[in-house]
Amino acid sequence: MRKRIHLLISGSVQGVLYRVNSKSKAEELDLTGYVRNMSDSKVEILAEGEENNLKEFIKWCYNGPDNAVVSEVKVKWSEYEEKFDKFEILV
């Protein structure tokens, strides 16, 4: 079943290639959506895809890339909306 997730990741997650690595992981899992840095030092991700792939992606987000220190991942699940055709990094 396809779903949508909205994630807010806190900690030392900017300036450590979190966005680039999350894009690679999302593409590996055939997810669509976006990742972007927030002004409050968090990373925001909106992703759509198969529920099992989203769960694996969430698990990855708790660790992130090697230099990241994740303190919290807030997850909101919602219905699949089919709004994206790829996963991209927003500036």
Q: Is residue 86 part of a domain?
A: no
Is pTM beyond 0.95? Reply is yes
**91 in any annotated domain:** no
Please name the residues in contact with 3: beta carbons below 8 A apart, sequence gap of 6 or more: 48, 49, 50, 51, 54, 77, 78, 79, 80
Our count of domains for the chain comes to 1
Task: Encode the chain (91 residues) as per-residue pLDDT tens digits.
Answer: 999 999 999 999 999 999 999 999 999 999 999 999 999 999 999 999 999 999 999 999 999 999 999 999 999 999 999 999 999 999 8
Indicate whether 88 belongs to any domain: no
Is residue 26 domain-resident? yes
Structural domain includes residue 38 = yes
- CB contact at 8 A, 67 and 16: yes
Give the C-alpha separation, 61 to 55, whole Å. 10
Q: Which two tokens stand for residue 36?
A: 């972007």
Q: Which three-class secondary structure string do you get for 49-85? A: EEHHHHHHHHHHHCCCCCCCEEEEEEEEEEECCCCCC
Quote the domain boundaries for residue 6: 2-81
Residue 55: inside a domain, yes or no? yes
Q: What is the pLDDT of residue 83?
A: 94
Query: Which are the catalytic amino acids?
Result: 19, 37
Q: What is the CATH number of the domain that holds 40?
A: 3.30.70.100
Residue 50 lies in a domain: yes
